[in-house]
Amino acid sequence: MDAIMRESSFAQYIKEQGVKQGIEQGIEQGIEQGIQESIREALAVRFDAGVAGQFADRIAVIDDLQRLKQLHRAAVQVNNLAAFQRVLDAVE
């Protein structure tokens, strides 16, 4: 009986860890999506929204937070879309 209870406790622990990991991954994905949206919005505000949209697909596939933060800084600071494209090319 003790062995069954220990297995149940262990199984429960594993299940909880999986749920915890899933929640953490969901939070990270949400942060990534938020930064991606911020990049698109910064480009749209600073430059023509239609032209800035040409980068949307490329930005959407980047899932590294450091690279996304770098792109966000560039979207706010660059003088033109060509300069942003050079930064995007470098981080991909």
Q: How confident is the model at residue 64 (pLDDT cuts 50, 70, 90)?
A: very high
Write down the pTM of the prediction. Answer: 0.78
Residue 11's pLDDT band (boundaries 50, 70, 90)? Answer: low
Q: So what's the pLDDT on residue 26?
A: 85
Report d(CA 19, CA 12) in Å as an integer: 11
**What pLDDT, on the 0 to 100 scale, is given for residue 58?**
95
| Integer angstrom CA distances of residue 74 from 7, 8, 15, 17, 53 | 52, 51, 41, 37, 16
Q: Residue 4's pLDDT is what?
A: 52
pLDDT of residue 24: 83
Confidence (pLDDT) at 3 = 52
